Structure 1
Amino acid sequence: MILEVLISVPLLVFLTCKLWSHFNQSYFILSLCKRIRTEDGSPLEDKIYVTPTKTRFGNNFDLLSFTSASIFNFMRDACDQAKGRNYLWYFFHAPMYNVVRAEEAEEIFQSPKLITKNMVYDLLKPFLREGLLTSTDQKWHSRRKALTPAFHFNILQSFLSIFKEECNKLTKVLNQSVDKELDLNQVIPQFTLNNVCETALGVKLDDMTEGLRYRQSIHAIEEVMQQRLCNPFFYNIVYFYLFGDYRKQVDNLKIAHDFSSQIIEKRRTLFRSKQLGQADDFGKKQRYAMLDTLLAAEAEGQIDHEGICDEVNTFMFEGYDTTSTCLIFTLLMLALHEDVQKRCFEEVENLPEDSDEISVFQYNELIYLECVIKESLRMFPSVPTIGRKCMEECVVNGLVMPENTQINVHIFDIMRDPRHFPNPNTFQPDRFLPENTVNRHPFAFVPFSAGQRNCIGQKFAILEIKVLLAAMIRNFRILPITLLSDITFENGIVLRTQQNVKVKLLRRKQE
């Protein structure tokens, strides 16, 4: 109590900075011995751009007091300074190797050893714990193997009716917004969250009284993660406890984890009673959910309740926010490019008039719409950066990486490389027509990552996105309100904008 009274926040911050400075003096001397070096003994600067530092303590203080927006700009500026080369930072207790070229990303994606995520993912562990996104080694291998059947084509076909059902609900909502300003950030995330809840968990989120509270808790958890990402002091749990939104994180984690546990228990009861696949009292079949794969593994002793909770929370986080981000940017691009939207309308107009009759195969045949989605993902990848960590000294792209070296693969910059995508800041869906992709580097377009740790749900996501876009394009003309020049990008686990994206809908006349 006495210390709390005597030590003011400014004084404690000053003392923390002095302590941090002392730590970094030790770190700087240590890093001289543990710096990255070239395998052939040539000067490091010949193979990689070494980013200048603001202090003699490496890049530790370069991000101090940054916001999500300034971190995004900092990384883009670093890429510009490197002039298209990969570049090096020295942060905290390890070097950080930043990859912005497809040629060097290839070795990282294909390496069987580089599968452990870097320290940024540690900030996700209070929420996702040891789920598929954050786990590594044997646990990751076994979980990936167990979950792969849940994304089989036959399972995806069964999800199609859910996507259509949610689309019909959303279309009714959108009909009330015709000729008005529509905030995509308000309506699209609810659609994608409902989809992933019913497909992954087998439960309609809107039917649950705590559904809205759960959605709010997810956003609150991410806000806290963003706070920690933007302030290097908050990586330290003690400092975060004292000055960060620690209590906000704890309260919202409890809401999210309790909710998922409740849903799991409800589905487990159904699973044990062997009612799956049987008709209910209304003659409607119980659908197979991804959660059922985990429950089957639990019955065989391959996973426990905590493990199921981890994977369910991972499904929710990865399947909800990333998909809504892609949809929002794609709708914005369609609004800003009337000619592209017209071509998409001409394509979807050939689908059966009754959406219930549209098959997965017919959605797969929407080639140009898929090009539009891919070009949107190229320019605005839902996950702009992914990370890896060297668990032991290893050679990567001719560089000797000390143990614990952090690796950032900047997907945002890789997919805007003018060597592979001329005029990279221009929206051109034709880039992805089959004849235009023949000679492209196989790792130049990696919005879902690549290699062993690629996104397990990418086919799921593309199908969900196609179903909604097709429905919206058939029913509405999409006009722009928000312009690209209005947008300020923010860095995070998912690409964000400071401003909500808004469009205007006009009902299509029957022609």
Structure 2
Amino acid sequence: MALFTFLLCFSIFLLGLIFYLKRLSKEYYLLACCRQLKTVDGSKISDKVYIVPGRTIFGNNFDILNSNPEDIYHWSRDLYKRAKGKPYALYFYQACIYTITSPEAVQEVFQSQSLTTKGVVYELVRPFLGEGLLVSSEQHWHDRRKLLTPAFHFNILQSFIEVFKNETLKLVNLLSAKKDQNVNLNEIISEFTLNSVCETALGVSLNDISGSSEYRKIIHELELVMVKRLCNPFMYYPLVFKLFGDYKGFYKNVKVAHNFSSKIITKKREEFQKRQFAKETVHENDDETGKRKRYAMLDTLFHAESQGVIDHRGICDEVNTFMFEGYDTTATCLIFTLFNLAVHSDIQEKCYREVKNYDLPAMSISDFNQLEYLERVVKETLRLQPSVPFISRCCREDTELNGVILSAGSQINIHILDIMRDEQHFPDPLKYDPDRFLPENSLNRHPYAFLPFSAGSRNCIGQRFAMLEIKAMLVGILQNFRVLPVTTPEDIRYENGLVLRTKENVLVKMVKRAN
């Protein structure tokens, strides 16, 4: 009896201690978060920001421990619902993470001249992308942006369109040979976009380079390791990651990716060094057959290297960055667009009627710009399924934002996916409706309600490049095939990483159209 009484009292004491520690911890992290967040007018911070309570006695630090990309997607959506339209804040990794999910709240970020430094999450990408345009900050980023912007001038894009059309025709021939078999979009589209970006922006055909299939495979593996590190605050420390994380596997894959991009740089450098530098300009750039050669982003980088503006390491960083961003995000958009067209046959038929009378090999940029309905379809896909679901910024100094003062070191997460599903600006937001982007329906919409390519000074440098590539491929496929669904909307399970993905491959059936 005495033992029973002791055990009962000890159990009650233990439960009370756990409850007390949990309450103390919750209050501690609430106070810690509030110390980094203050209202301008002196009101309660909870009136303006939803402070997310932690799942454990350690606040938010282990809320997503051992989560996978699918778990993170649903966790983010749950926090969005709980916040009920307000920005929400977590105390994670000894810093406040202020999360924005509405156009009104994000406007001040993109208009700010000081909030251009990327958040701490991008440090996890740095071993792969170095000081490339995605990761770099401040003056370094400004100089690189200024250097690379001319490489995506309208006149340069005009030469790229021929590659997009040729790659599309190759894809159409490949699909024709499948004869009504199920098509794995994740495999076939990513191969198309990698070929396109290498032959246009980098000026090298992958027919001359081995290792492209391995490169596509390891990119996803690299991202999975980054997501695992994101979920565990201890893994942010390089030493802990080296001792207890998948350090060897990660850096092995980084080496594979870097070796592949190095082959491309070496191939292009050999061609570049054979030219007569004194006679070449962007406008006078003919090969031995008299045909005008395409001016690639790598040409810009090599010219800058010869002038001492960039070194070899810098060229590698920019090539790795543009290969990753230029092929993977575009592939994601194309996969989701074809999936949506397969599911919505009426919308697909409208697209077909718009494109059927064009001669793809003869189409110009002007012709592609006239495909207004197809562009609305692409925009609606990017709204509902943005290739990049969130971006991040870091406060280098105390910053006033939306009536709240964030202390230096605070992180700002911008959930693009939630912003573009805001029902105030997009009624019935989960419905797929390209007519949302009719001029009359877009007239009074908030300027930051639609931002699949980010916005402000750090918007995507290649957005016109991507839209042109996407349209070219869609025209080729729609002119030749009816796209039928195999994967259904109920089968789709989203994964939230650096890029929005599906857990399983997306399958469709391509049925040849009668001539």
Superposed CA deviations along residues 150-209 of structure 1, whole A, max 9, x for unmatched, are 110000010000101111111111112232111101100000001111112111113212
Q: Write the distance in 2 (CA, Å) between the matches of 1:406 and 1:177.
A: 49
Matches within 5 A, 1:438-453: 438-453=443-458
The alignment status of 1:138 with 2:139, answered yes or no, reads: yes
The equivalent of 1:465 in structure 2 is: 470
Structure showing greater Rg: 2
Match of 2:348 among 329, 337, 341: 341
Q: Which amino acid aligns with 1:438?
A: L
Matches within 5 A, 1:137-286: 137-274=138-275, 280=287, 285-286=292-293
Q: Write the distance in 1 (CA, Å) between the matches of 2:125 and 2:147.
A: 22
Tell me by how many angstroms 1:436 deviates: 1.1
Q: Write the distance in 2 (CA, Å) between the matches of 1:292 and 1:222.
A: 29
Q: Write the distance in 2 (CA, Å) between the matches of 1:86 and 1:100.
A: 6
Match of 1:501 among 500, 503, 506: 506
DSSP-derived class of the 2:54 partner: coil
Tell me by how many angstroms 1:31 deviates: 2.6
Q: Which amino acid aligns with 2:259?
A: D
Matches within 5 A, 1:264-343: 264-274=265-275, 280=287, 285-343=292-350
Moved more, 124-133 or 237-246: 237-246
The equivalent of 2:389 in structure 1 is: 384
Superposed CA deviations along residues 7-47 of structure 1, whole A, max 9, x for unmatched, are xxxxxxxxxxxxxx9xx99x959936732110110011111
> Is residue 166–residue 195 contact of structure 1 (8 Å, CA) maintained in 2?
yes
> Is residue 337–residue 378 contact of structure 2 (8 Å, CA) maintained in 1?
yes
Instruction: Report the TM-score when normalising by structure 1.
Output: 0.91
Q: How many residues align?
A: 486
The equivalent of 2:54 in structure 1 is: 53
Q: Write the distance in 2 (CA, Å) between the matches of 1:469 and 1:234.
A: 41
Moved more, 245-254 or 135-144: 245-254
The equivalent of 2:126 in structure 1 is: 125
Unmatched 5+ residue regions in structure 1?
A: 1-20
Tell me by how many angstroms 1:260 deviates: 1.9
Q: Which amino acid aligns with 2:196?
A: N
Matches within 5 A, 1:82-93: 82-93=83-94
- After superposition, the CA RMSD in angstroms is 2.0
Superposed CA deviations along residues 260-310 of structure 1, whole A, max 9, x for unmatched, are 223223322322332666555666543211111111111111111101110
Q: Which amino acid aligns with 1:381?
A: P
Moved more, 194-203 or 463-472: 194-203
Q: Write the distance in 1 (CA, Å) between the matches of 2:96 and 2:463.
A: 31
Match of 2:399 among 384, 387, 394: 394
> Is residue 68–residue 230 contact of structure 1 (8 Å, CA) maintained in 2?
no
> Is residue 323–residue 461 contact of structure 1 (8 Å, CA) maintained in 2?
yes
> Is residue 120–residue 387 contact of structure 1 (8 Å, CA) maintained in 2?
yes
> Is residue 63–residue 232 contact of structure 1 (8 Å, CA) maintained in 2?
no
Q: Write the distance in 1 (CA, Å) between the matches of 2:483 and 2:232.
A: 39
DSSP-derived class of the 2:293 partner: coil
DSSP-derived class of the 2:338 partner: helix
Tell me by how many angstroms 1:234 deviates: 2.3
Match of 1:417 among 419, 422, 427: 422
The equivalent of 1:12 in structure 2 is: none
Tell me by how many angstroms 1:397 deviates: 1.0
Describe the shift of the 1:33–1:416 C-alpha distance in structure 2 as closer, same or farther (beyond 3 A): closer
The equivalent of 1:114 in structure 2 is: 115
Q: Write the distance in 1 (CA, Å) between the matches of 2:162 and 2:92.
A: 48
Q: Write the distance in 1 (CA, Å) between the matches of 2:94 and 2:236.
A: 12
Q: Write the distance in 1 (CA, Å) between the matches of 2:393 and 2:357.
A: 44
The equivalent of 1:481 in structure 2 is: 486
> Is residue 220–residue 248 contact of structure 1 (8 Å, CA) maintained in 2?
no
> Is residue 345–residue 473 contact of structure 1 (8 Å, CA) maintained in 2?
yes
The equivalent of 1:81 in structure 2 is: 82
Describe the shift of the 1:280–1:32 C-alpha distance in structure 2 as closer, same or farther (beyond 3 A): closer
> Is residue 30–residue 51 contact of structure 2 (8 Å, CA) maintained in 1?
no
Q: Write the distance in 2 (CA, Å) between the matches of 1:426 and 1:301.
A: 52
> Is residue 62–residue 232 contact of structure 2 (8 Å, CA) maintained in 1?
no
Q: Write the distance in 1 (CA, Å) between the matches of 2:216 and 2:503.
A: 19
The equivalent of 1:15 in structure 2 is: none
Percent identity, aligned pairs only, is 54
> Is residue 48–residue 87 contact of structure 1 (8 Å, CA) maintained in 2?
yes
> Is residue 415–residue 444 contact of structure 1 (8 Å, CA) maintained in 2?
yes
Q: Write the distance in 2 (CA, Å) between the matches of 1:505 and 1:214.
A: 27
The equivalent of 1:94 in structure 2 is: 95
Q: Write the distance in 2 (CA, Å) between the matches of 1:468 and 1:414.
A: 28
Q: Write the distance in 1 (CA, Å) between the matches of 2:465 and 2:414.
A: 24
> Is residue 67–residue 228 contact of structure 2 (8 Å, CA) maintained in 1?
no
Instruction: Report the TM-score when normalising by structure 2.
Output: 0.91
Tell me by how many angstroms 1:402 deviates: 0.7
DSSP-derived class of the 1:490 partner: strand
